[in-house]
Amino acid sequence: MGCSSNPEIINQLDVSKGEKIVYSCSVSKFNKWGIKQERTLMLTNTSLYNIKKNTSQRKISIFNIKAVTKSTQPNNKQFIVHINSEYDYMFESDQISEIFEAIKLVFWQNKKINLPVFGVPDKLKDYSTSKKDINNGVEVKPKENYRLVNEDIYEELGSPSASTGSSSVGGFTDEVSQFNDEVQQSVSQNVFAKHKETACL
């Protein structure tokens, strides 16, 4: 059963404020001992959820996500979701590409900036902030030189091209900019559409 067809899941959404499910899939979550736990990762238009047996274990606002990190090693499907002032999540999934595209899209739709995506060559766990780190006032994140700038696919609010568009004669460039935004969203949506709402454990 997909999450959008699951009444128990729907009842946990803030539907009165327009919250709706964008994407969900099965993942393995790593606990603090490095043990895999089967979960459903669910993304709405406002939040990211860790779902266990139809119950939300944690709800993270899109505005609190600061970055995502993946390994640059071949066939490594693990990744980290970095959270502002909170402990991170480390997952593993065959749908890592689709997950990234979905989060990047929703992040941009809410904040009008690109979600920072990092790629690291060594042990991924070394870049994850634990509960212990938070208690000690430490937040871990890859250095800026590990940022994958080719993952920045959206035009950001306040960028030179966006500013140019707002002052164009007749609003023609505004229309072009809007068209480009729609194309970019369509590309991202097509990447993960085939796995959209495929699971809700």
DSSP states of 124-170: GGGG---HHHHHTT------GGGB-GGG--SPPTT-HHHHHHHT-GG
Sign of CA dihedral 87, 91, 95, 97: positive
Bridge-based pairing state of the strands 65-71 and 117-120: parallel
Residue 32 placed within a domain: yes
Instruction: Single out the residue of 133, 138, 95, 102 nearest to residue 117, CA to CA.
Output: 102
- Cα separation, 129 vs 67, in Å, equals 12
Residue 168 placed within a domain: no
Residue 183 placed within a domain: no
Can you list the alpha helix ranges (DSSP code H) found in the chain? 7-10, 96-111, 131-135, 160-166, 172-193
The pLDDT assigned to 189 comes to 53
Range of the domain at 93: 3-152
Asked whether the beta carbons of 68 and 79 are under 8 A apart, the reply is yes
Residue 164 placed within a domain: no
Residue 120 placed within a domain: yes
Residue 97 placed within a domain: yes
- Cα separation, 29 vs 15, in Å, equals 27
Residue 185 placed within a domain: no
- In a 13 Å sphere around the CA of 116, the CA atoms on its Cβ side amount to 18
The pLDDT assigned to 2 comes to 76
Number of compact structural domains in the chain: 1
- In a 13 Å sphere around the CA of 91, the CA atoms on its Cβ side amount to 26
Residue 15 placed within a domain: yes
The pLDDT assigned to 157 comes to 75
Per-residue pLDDT of the chain (201 residues; tens, 9 = 90+): 578 889 999 999 999 999 999 999 999 999 989 999 999 999 999 999 999 999 999 999 999 999 999 999 999 999 999 999 999 999 999 999 999 999 999 999 999 999 999 999 999 999 999 999 999 999 999 999 999 999 999 998 776 655 444 444 445 445 545 544 554 555 455 555 554 555 565
Q: Which phi and psi (to 5°) does residue 197 adopt?
A: 50, 50
Instruction: Single out the residue of 20, 21, 25, 22 nearest to residue 198, CA to CA.
Output: 25
The pLDDT assigned to 4 comes to 84
Give the largest CA-CA distance in the chain: 60
The pLDDT assigned to 173 comes to 47
The pLDDT assigned to 5 comes to 86
Q: What CATH number should be reported for the domain holding residue 37?
A: 2.30.29.30
